[in-house]
Structure 1
């Protein structure tokens, strides 16, 4: 079983960053990238796929709880993908001459 490591930012907190601390911002971006890569490389969902077909695994209520959580997680991944696109597009526009 894969163990989940903690966020590169202790407690998931957003660290205090002074104005225009570009090095700190770069560290935060690198930490985010590492965390997303770690999540993608995790085998936790593969473990779930092994559990689901077990005979008598779930009641209808438990099924709905798991199904709803999977749907929620899919929406969160889509939102993160969209946010990443918006961030990069916005960052490219900063300082751009029109």
Structure 2
């Protein structure tokens, strides 16, 4: 018996990230370890950790998209309200 995912066209994911993001995080970690070992610079590891956090995908939306949508709703886009009486 074979068990397939519900949507065969969905993006390939591993744990909480897309496979593309896993590759970028892996290269970032290698670069961060090299920069820390050779030059004692912590900044690349902070950028890699921030990218890893912002690209966590939960139920087809990542954290960066959620922050973008929340900022657009609460700050950048005008909300319109209409009150009408029932007569």
When normalised by structure 2's length, the TM-score is: 0.32
Name the structure, 1 or 2, with higher relative contact order (CA <8 Å, separation 6+).
Answer: 1
When normalised by structure 1's length, the TM-score is: 0.29
Structure with greater strand percent: 2
Structure with greater helix percent: 1
